[in-house]
Structures are given as structure tokens and as C-alpha cells.
Structure 1
Amino acid sequence: MTPASSTSVRRPAGPRPEYPRPQFRRERWLSLNGTWRFQRDPSDSGLERGLLGADFAETIVVPFAPESELSGIGDPDFCEAVWYAREIAVPDEWPADGRVLLHCQAIDHDATVWLDGREVGRHRGGHTSFTLDLTDALAGRRTGTLTIRARDSRDAPQPRGKQSTHYANSGCHYTRTTGIWQPVWLEWVPASHLARPRITPDVARGEFELDVPVRHGRRGMTVRALLLDEPAAPAAASPIDADEAPADASMTPRLRLRVPADRVRLWEPGAPHLYGVRFELRGPDGALVDALDSYAGLRSIAIDGQRVLINGRPVFQRLVLDQGYWPDGLMTAPSEAALVADIELGLAAGFNGARVHQKIAEERYLYHADRLGYLVWGEFADWGASGAGPAGDNQRPTPTWIAQWVEAVERDYSHPSIVGWCPLNETHQFIHDRFTVLDDVTTALFLATKGIDRTRPVIDASGYSHRVAATDVWDSHDYSQDPEVFADRMAGLERGEPFANTGANSGEARPGAPDYSLPYADQPYFCSEFGGIWWVPPHLRGDGDDGWGYGDRVADEEEWYARAAGLTRVLDQNPLMFGYCWTQLTDVFGEQNGIYRFDRSAKLDPDRVRAIFDHPAAYEDS
């Protein structure tokens, strides 16, 4: 039972070298990002053809998908499967009496992992993380060949978000992401060790409730949590308060960690205080067995009638839609700085948060949102689950939608920046042969989320079909470009008849089709997609296609400011509207409706943009 030691910290080089999981930090880890051997498998016949153990013809830079430029491949064509291989070497300073874990933050879509030809595990889910134990396969050795096959069918139903099922980008469907697209790393843990804690803030009591799973615990062990003075340097800080609980193989100890009254500081936009937390597993003799460092924010979210309250007060949620794509990395941020920049660009434009749209944000993005006080709605890459999305009739929802979403909520539960969950987006219940199945999936996702998380609001589906009568939040998507028309559509909220997406107003009505949504029941309401103004500065326009946006392209920059201000005032001057989400932060390929260009350079006056969105809201006076 050897505890972690600060002397074992390695400073990895190569792409994306930072530790991928800041809220669950260990000291003994080794990045596997960098050059891997690579083989395309266009028809997914590689296992039959003997690719396992074969020499691969190419190399690729992980964690960038082969469709991206940063991978060194840059091939956007379809490929049913891809293979990766590289040698791994467990560092000599890692003790031999522990376990060696492989962490994969995201592999799209169905991954199988072998070590020296021995299968060590599988995972399905292109946006969710998984961990495999390599110890038994290593069998006492410190080296081996790691092989990963990723299968990503064009036609199979799967949560794919905005990935196009056509060869080229089309509309708001973008270049695909296949295979490894987030960091991969090794980590050493003791034989008995801590798993990811769940941190639940309790503002009323000035406490944190902590659920701390123990793997392979032994009788007499205890789990201890220490609150640290200074989150920026937890290793040098002294404990403020502590609690402990017994741990064994069948338990997840629950602890309550009190913040002394004179140290209570809340986490909120503009003042995102974070407490450093250290978790320890100690043996029967009190010796340290395992330790990990984390952090927590003390904040509450509550629903009060039609209001969503943060720390007991109405905070107007000025959100921006962030697609999370980059020209050279696609869904993978090219660097740590790029993740930070997107949050800072949102803040500079006057927003206090984002819908990270149709993808599950990587953990370092959420860490920076926690650190910078940026509100986030956690969202799933479900688009098309109703059969009306990019894969058409093939995109029927299956149990994997539920399994993958549960993985995401469990992983990201402890981030204070997440203020709501959105498992589905723009589902359409007008197709009769899917009506019952999609209703069941919608209900299952909602209930599963509520079962995991009792502290945050959950919206059953963003826009279109609200099929769960008890959904915490109602919303709509409306890209009307005339502020007067937009105001008329939003005026019904005061009468208890808010604007709802229907087949009639979306142009998708079918004879005899059911209504999209159940009746509104006075839930908190916001317009979670609006704006999307089409604007390409004249000096950036080409001779041919200048992309698209919603409505007619504005004639000049002045018209953009006038239209944006007119649309936004409709929402932020409505005292019953708890927030909005503007489309969108950046242009994405041919979608030319961002505040910034796709490369994150400016295309509008930042001061004038901020004046539009960082505007006093009537809701905050309610």
C-alpha cells in the first residue's frame, strides 16, 4: 500500500500535455498523446484480415481525429473503422504493487482495446470517457503494445451530434470525427484506491456532501476529506476542516465537509470561488494508502415558481451557443489555450455562460468554466434521435442513448459551472412509427438524470417536443429575424401560453401528426436558441457561396447591431424570462452566423457587441 509521491510527477511533452481531468488529479500519470501507428479500415474487415498485431502503414498524432489537419492525416472521407497501435512503457518509479489504468477521454464511436493481442475491454460512446485496467494483461511486465480499434459506421444509429452523414459539410452538419479525439493516458493507483468522488454543495449549511467510492477496500480503512485554504496551491495549504468515514469493498462512504462560517464564499458568475479539497484513503494503522486532489464550488440552484435561482437570487442566464469546433482540430481543441479562449471570448461579448452544443464538453473546458465563473448547460450529442436529423431514418434512438448520457452526467456531476442538463435537442414526435419509442427514450433520459442529480434543473428536450409533463424547464427555438414578429411570438408567456415549436411554425407539420409538446405547466421558460444573424463582412466575401445564416443576410454591420439589439431586448426585458441562448459564438464552416469568425478573429466591434448582451435584465429585478 504505497501512497502517491510528489517525486513521481512527470512533465509530458507533445500535443495537449496537460492533465486531462483537473477535478480528479493524481500524481502518477503518463500522457499517451503524440504519434501512434495508424491504419485505415474502410470496410471494417480488419480483424478478419489480421490487422491485430500487424504493422500499420501510417502514423497519426493523437488526440486529433484522422479527418482533422492536426492529426497529420486530414482525410474527411468515410471510414468504417480505424486502428491505432503504440508501445507503452510503465515508468520505473511506479511501484509494482499497484494497478496500471488506461484512461480514454473520448473515442468515436465503438472502441476495442488490446494489450499484446489480449483484449482488455470495449466501450461504446463517442463522447464519453472510459477506463480499463491493464494490470493483468501486463502480467508483471512494464512494456507492451497497445492496440485500439475504433468503429464508426456511417449508417448505424448513434449519438453523433453535428457530424455529417454526407461526404461534405452541409448546412449545420459538419466534418466527421472518427476514432481517438480526446486525450489518452496511463495512471498508477494502489491496489486499494479511491474512485471519482461526487461533490454536492449545500449552501444552506455551508457544507459539501461527498460520496467517495473505494475500489478494493479493506476492513478498517477510512476515507478522509480535507478542505484546503488556497485552491491555487493545494499541496502547500493547510486543512481548514476534515471529516472521515469507514471504507470497505462494498461501500461508498458519504462524508460531510463543513466550511467554517468565516470562510464561506459562494461560487457564482463574477465571483467563482473554488475550495481545494484533498481526499485520502488511510489503512487500519492510519497510514496513507491513496490520495487525490480536487476542488469544489459552494453554490445552489433552485426553482421558485417560474424562476431559476442561483444562490437564492435570480441571475439572468445570458448564454451563447458554442459548437466547440475548430478549423484545424474539428471537435478537438488544438490547445489548452484554445479552450480558455472560447470562454474568454464569450465573456468579452457580454455572455455569462454557454450551451456547449451537441457535444459533451471535455473536462478541461469545464475546469476553466469553473475557474472563470462561466455557466454551462450540459448537453448530449443526440441530434437526429427522432429520425429527422443527419442520418434520417437510420437514427432511431436505442438503449445506448441512455447508457452514454448517464456516463456523461455521472462524470461531470461535481462541476459547479454546470447549472442544468439537456439530454435531447430538437426531437420531433410527428413520425408515427417512432412516437412511442422516442417518448420512452425522452422519459428515460429525464428520469435517469433526475435520479442521478437532485440539485440541477433538467429539460426533457430543448426546442420542439416537451414530452415529460414534469420537466423542470420549458423552452423554444425561434430564429425570427424581425424583432416585432419575435416580440409577438414571445408575448404569450405573460398569459401562460408561451411560444412553442410546432409542426406548423417549423414547416414540418404532417397530416394527423400529434402535437410536439404536452401542455405548458408554468415551468421556468427561456428561448434557448435565437439570433443566428447571417453576416459576412464585405472584405471576406468570395465570388461564390458565402455560406448561410438565418433569414436574409444583413446589408451592413449597422443593421447587425440594430437587429441583434432588437431581438435581445425582447427577451431580457421580459421579467418572466430567466435567460436566453444566442446563436452563436463563432462561424462554423459554411455557417456564417457567429459573433466571431471560425478562426476566432473579430468580425464585429467587441464593445458594441458587449453593450447588446451585457444589458440589465428585467428578470434580475423580479
Structure 2
Amino acid sequence: MKKTLLSLLLLSSAIFASANSEIPRPEYPRPQFERTEWINLNGTWSYEFDFSQSGLERSLFKSKGFDRPITVPFCPESPLSGVNHKDFINAMWYHRKISIPQNWDGKRILLNFGGVDYKSTIYLNGEEIFVHYGGSSSFAIDITAYVKAGSENDLIVYVQDDLRSQLQTAGKQSRRLYSYSCLYTRVTGIWQTVWLEAVSKGGLKLCRITPDLDNKQFVFEPVFYDLDLNATFKVRVLDNGKEVYSQKVPASDNAFISAKIKNIKTWSPESPFLYDIEFSVLDAEGNTIDKVKSYAGMRKVELRGKTFYLNNEPYYQRLVLDQGYYPDGQWTAPDDEQLKKDIILAKEAGFNGARLHQKVFEQRYFYWADKLGYLTWGESASWGMDWTSPLAARNMITEWEECVARDYNATSLVAWSPLNETWKEDIDGQRARLTNDLYFITKRLDRTRPVVSASGGYHAGFTDIYAEHTYVQDPIELYKQLSLDENGYPYIHHPNFSAPYKGEAYMIDEFGGIQWIKEMKTAEVAGTDEFWGYGKPPRTIEEFYKRLEEQVNVVLSMDHITGFCYTQIVDVELEKNGIYTYDRNLKFDMERIRKIFSKSREQAKLEVAKMLSERNAR
């Protein structure tokens, strides 16, 4: 009876989706590597929780369907999944039928997962075909040998998510039953798009794109599935539809294409110009056997001394902390428009970028940052992990490598930050070893971007940007804290546990966090158990604006600080210190907010001098 009811539910859902053309998150999930032959597998799947983890003994991998429906790609903890289960889920099973089109015969068939938290074992028709570790990294499986064109197949995904083990990345997921302070509802299982894709056997696997502004060229590094001595690889670069570069080379993993561009146009937050790019693989007769759409921006980021440069000009980063949580989808935005809206809201508040915090954001977020002109920092979901455990370190390194490789081409991404606040006493040097390993691995994978080894303290010895956090609320005390000491050294939160400052670029990449709830007229009416933030809340809205402006003025006025990151863009669950509410509605007069965060450093220095003078006169 249960199976029959489920079948009716699935059929009704399929008919409804077909009639309304409503597949959740229907857009192509990988905008810098887009093909036309693909099938979105989002929508209604069936699932079963496996709290006793007996599913393998019960042969659930052979299932033809489970008893309850779930909407993918939303995690079961989210309302949008249709499940909304808030307790711990150590294991669960997913099922859906997948049909392989007849015209895919003779092609390589790929099964792609944008993100599954944490360990996922993939079965087709009862046979285990792949195991992946890592809740944040994307992965693809070549299923050509397991399916036939025109066939229908049973796809099973077995998920294991032992959050409390401290052996896996978790980000801001709570290890208690309920959310508390700055730790939030958990994310289990599939949380990004799942899709099928057909590719020629000799198709393009990937292509790294490196902008070289000084030489006015893009450097392309292709990698192919099967190498054919007679095949060629073609690159076209277009400026608003007009071809500005084209070249063909042998289709080889040893191929490098240096595409010189005349009258080069640069990318920046103020002018986010993107070139369209077409990759093609041609057979011996010149027929196109694979075609991929892409894009790239011409931009250069580097540190010169203690200053951040964009396109060979000093550039002050005015970042905001973005944790990428949504009240109805948890880690998953309800739709593509919401990703775009989040960036627009931040830019309207006066920020030119975001530190993407304790979550590896999906590729479509980077797409909108590229399109709209918005700097981003890439960060892992490192919290919840025991940084002193060698097994946890192994899990972390593998996942991080996959994330860096995946997002290398993102134009907006200007810095990597693998760790955040590793505030735990070291054991046998394991924390320091992991921190330094991640720094050098990231530099080897990407020499074009600076690396912040451990944001907010416990730097282990190597970092390109010395990034510190402070939530001192009083502006005078903040000024004293952030001023250089008598020896010319900046503020270090944990000097006994961090490597000495050696003259690196210096940023305050967390500060502020001022509590304010939109509905209350004064903070005194709210109990401490009802919301959370840093410091004592302001008593009135005018006190909020004054504290905010004076804090921002202090940070802007310091010549040794090359940029800031304010906490945060939206409220998240109990944490009520966002510029906007959790559902992305207004809390403040945005014209005042924008003027504060976009203020010139010269003006900030004048206002800080006035503030100090007035305080001294009292």
C-alpha cells in the first residue's frame, strides 16, 4: 500500500512539474563549462532515513523506490525539501529512476553531483559504482559502462554524515540538537543540482583559464577524456558577439593556447566586462564532436608589499561576511534569482565583495558575482573538524583540493582562505602542519591568487594576508586595539599561538557584528535567549548608526589595514547582526548604510580625529 501511494505521489509530482515546467533549480549548474546535452535530475526523489545504519544489511542499495518523497536539491532539514527534519541524520538513502536517451548511444555518459554532505556511495541497478568523501566538493561519475542508451535505471545514493565525529568539514552546522549562537541548522545529503550529461568519447574534460593582463592574453590549458592524434581543439573568444580571437591546436593534454587580445577590456566591480568563450573539439574531418560554452574576465590580483592590487592599481576591499544560509533551503538558495539578489543587496549596501564564510558556494553564485562585478573570497567549511587529527586533515585536504580546482576559473574570486579561527591547542604540531600544508597546496594549485592560511588567528607561519578578527564594540577601544604598537606591529588576537607578523598585507576580515532586530524599538525588550550577536546591543536605532559609522571609520582610517570584512550581510537564524533580515528584507535606512560603508578613507580619518578630540575633551 505504501509503495502504491508513493508511486501515485511521484507520478502526480512528475505530471505537475511537466505541466508547469517547474523543476527546482532548473538552470545549468556549471555556467563556465556548459553543454547542451544534459538532463536535470532535480525534483521528486524517494528517501529513507537509516538511523540504525542497517541499510546495507537490508540491501537498500537494491531498492526500486522508498516510502517517502523528497525534493532535490534541498536537504531534508529544509522546508523546501518537503521533509523539514531537524534532528541528526547520520545516514539516509535516496532513490530515483533515470532514463538514458536513445540518441546518447556511443557517447560518454556522466552523472554529476554539485554537492552531497558528507560521504556518498552511488549505486546503479544495485551495483556500487562510486564513493565520494566531502560535503562541499562537486564530483562526476562516468556511468557509460553501467547503462545503455534507451534504458531506465535505478539510481541509489547512500549518504553518511557523522557530524559529531569531528573528522569531516561541517562549517556552521550545529553539533547540538538545536541551533545556538552562530551555529545553525544542519545540512545532510544532496544540496546541489544533480544532472546527467552526454559527452563525446574524445570530448573536453576541463580547461583552465588564466588571465594574463600584463601580456594582454588568456592562457588556456585543456584536458581531454580520450586523446585522438587526428583531433583538434579550437578556442574562440568573443567580445559582445564579435570574434576577437580564434585558434586551433592538436587536441592534447600538453596543449597551451596563449590568446592575445587586442584592445583589451578589464574586469572590475566597477566595470565587470566578460568575454564569451567557445571551446570545440573537432575530428579528423573537421566535424564538431564536442562544444562547450564558457566565459572569462581579464583581471589581475596581487599583493605588492602590504597593499592589495586589482589590475595594477591599489584597491581597497570593502567586504561583507556572507554565510550563504536561507530560511527555506539552508545551504541551498530557493532559486537562481536569489543568488543574484544577494549580491545586488550587498552592492546596494556599499560593499564591493564578500568573504564567503564557512561554506563552499555553488558555481552559479560565482557566475552572478562575475556578471555583476563583485569580489569573492573562497573558504572551506572547516569548522566542526578536529584540526589536530591526521584523519580529519586527510579528509579536509582532499576536499579542499577539489574545491580549488573546481573554482579556479571564477573571475570574481580573488583570494583563498582554507581555514577559519583554528582556536584549539596544538597536539604534536598537527594543527600547524595542516595549516601550512593547506597554504602550500593552495599555492601550488593556484599561483595567481593570495592565500589566507587561517582567517582570524593562529597563523602557523605562512600566509599572504595576515587576517585578524575583532568584535570590540566601543570605537575608542577599537582604535586603541587596531593602532600599531610601539614597535610598529599590528594587533594580533592570539600572539602566543600565532606565528609572528612578518610584514604581510594586513586585513581585519571580521568586525562589527552589531546586534539589531528590526521589530524592536530598543534592544532592552529582547531577552538574551531570543537572539545572539556581538557585544551589548545599541539601545536605539540612532545609537546603532553611530556605533556602526564610528567602527567603520576607525578601520578605514588605519593606513596599515588594506581592507575589511564586516559581519554580516543577513541575519542567520538566532544571529541578529545582519544588514538585512534573514528573509532578505530591509532593517535599516539603506542610503545611510551605503554612505557609511562606501566612505572615503580620507573622510574617515577626519571623522576619527574629531571623535578622538571630542572624547579627550570630556
Pair 478,291 (structure 1): closer, same or farther in 2 beyond 3 Å? same
Map of 1:452 onto structure 2: 445
1:489 lines up with 2:481 in the alignment: yes
Q: Deviations over 1:395-443 (max 9, x none)?
A: 97321111110100000001110000000000125x24x2511111111
1:21 lines up with 2:16 in the alignment: no
Question: Whole-Å Cα distance in 1 between the matches of residues 410 and 485 of structure 2?
Answer: 32
Q: Could you tell me which of 125, 129, 133 is aligned with 2:134?
A: 125
Pair 499,543 (structure 1): closer, same or farther in 2 beyond 3 Å? closer
Q: Could you tell me which of 39, 45, 49 is aligned with 2:54?
A: 45
Map of 2:341 onto structure 1: 341
Range 447-456 or range 394-403, more displaced = 394-403
1:33 lines up with 2:42 in the alignment: yes
Whether the aligned pair in 1 keeps the contact of 2:439 and 2:453 (CA below 8 Å) is: yes
Question: Whole-Å Cα distance in 2 between the matches of residues 395 and 72 of structure 1?
Answer: 38
Q: Deviations over 1:507-559 (max 9, x none)?
A: xxxxxxxx221111111111000000011235488875330110001101111
Q: Taking structure 2 as the reference length, what is the TM-score of the superposition? A: 0.91
Q: How does 1:553-568 map to 2 (within 5 A)?
A: 553-568=537-552
Q: Deviations over 1:268-305 (max 9, x none)?
A: 11101000011111122322221101000000012111
1:145 lines up with 2:154 in the alignment: yes
Q: Could you tell me which of 50, 54, 68 is aligned with 1:58?
A: 68
1:610 lines up with 2:594 in the alignment: yes
Whether the aligned pair in 1 keeps the contact of 2:353 and 2:374 (CA below 8 Å) is: yes
Q: Taking structure 1 as the reference length, what is the TM-score of the superposition? A: 0.90
1:242 lines up with 2:226 in the alignment: no
Q: How does 1:404-483 map to 2 (within 5 A)?
A: 404-429=399-424, 431-432=425-426, 434-469=427-462, 471-483=463-475
Deviation at 1:468, TM superposition (A): 2.4
Map of 1:501 onto structure 2: 493
Q: Deviations over 1:200-224 (max 9, x none)?
A: 0000111001111011121122211
Structure 1 counterpart of 2:127, one-letter code:
R
Question: Whole-Å Cα distance in 2 between the matches of residues 27 and 602 of structure 1?
Answer: 39
Question: Whole-Å Cα distance in 1 between the matches of residues 160 and 379 of structure 2?
Answer: 23
Deviation at 1:95, TM superposition (A): 3.2
Map of 1:330 onto structure 2: 330
Structure 1 counterpart of 2:381, one-letter code:
A
Map of 1:256 onto structure 2: 258
Question: Whole-Å Cα distance in 2 between the matches of residues 620 and 555 of structure 1?
Answer: 24
Structure 1 counterpart of 2:417, one-letter code:
C
Deviation at 1:48, TM superposition (A): 1.0
Deviation at 1:20, TM superposition (A): 0.4
Structure 2 counterpart of 1:607, one-letter code:
E
Pair 618,127 (structure 1): closer, same or farther in 2 beyond 3 Å? farther
Map of 1:572 onto structure 2: 556
Question: Whole-Å Cα distance in 2 between the matches of residues 486 and 217 of structure 1?
Answer: 60
3-state DSSP class of the match of 1:607? helix
Deviation at 1:238, TM superposition (A): 4.4
Deviation at 1:590, TM superposition (A): 0.6
Question: Whole-Å Cα distance in 1 between the matches of residues 21 and 519 of structure 2?
Answer: 44
Pair 35,394 (structure 1): closer, same or farther in 2 beyond 3 Å? farther
Map of 1:69 onto structure 2: 79
Q: How many residues align?
A: 581
Pair 161,435 (structure 1): closer, same or farther in 2 beyond 3 Å? farther
Deviation at 1:342, TM superposition (A): 0.8
Question: Whole-Å Cα distance in 2 between the matches of residues 397 and 489 of structure 1?
Answer: 35
Whether the aligned pair in 2 keeps the contact of 1:81 and 1:150 (CA below 8 Å) is: yes
3-state DSSP class of the match of 2:219? strand
Q: Deviations over 1:154-199 (max 9, x none)?
A: 3221011000111100111111000000110111101111012111
Q: How does 1:311-322 map to 2 (within 5 A)?
A: 311-322=311-322
Q: Deviations over 1:351-403 (max 9, x none)?
A: 0000111000100000000001100000000014456xxxxx98973211111
Map of 1:510 onto structure 2: none
Whether the aligned pair in 2 keeps the contact of 1:282 and 1:288 (CA below 8 Å) is: yes
Map of 1:350 onto structure 2: 350
Whether the aligned pair in 1 keeps the contact of 2:389 and 2:430 (CA below 8 Å) is: no
Unaligned runs of 5+ in 1: 1-10, 231-236, 388-392, 504-514
Whether the aligned pair in 1 keeps the contact of 2:556 and 2:604 (CA below 8 Å) is: no
Question: Whole-Å Cα distance in 1 between the matches of residues 391 and 354 of structure 2?
Answer: 28
3-state DSSP class of the match of 1:467? coil
Deviation at 1:109, TM superposition (A): 0.2
Pair 79,582 (structure 1): closer, same or farther in 2 beyond 3 Å? same
3-state DSSP class of the match of 1:457? coil
Range 486-495 or range 204-213, more displaced = 486-495
Map of 2:514 onto structure 1: 533
Deviation at 1:13, TM superposition (A): 3.6
CA RMSD of aligned residues (A): 2.0
Whether the aligned pair in 1 keeps the contact of 2:99 and 2:150 (CA below 8 Å) is: no
Whether the aligned pair in 2 keeps the contact of 1:80 and 1:151 (CA below 8 Å) is: yes
Whether the aligned pair in 1 keeps the contact of 2:100 and 2:148 (CA below 8 Å) is: no
Q: Deviations over 1:447-484 (max 9, x none)?
A: 11000111110011101111123x21101100000011
1:268 lines up with 2:272 in the alignment: no
Q: Deviations over 1:19-66 (max 9, x none)?
A: 101011100011000000111111222111221223411010000000
Structure 1 counterpart of 2:465, one-letter code:
V
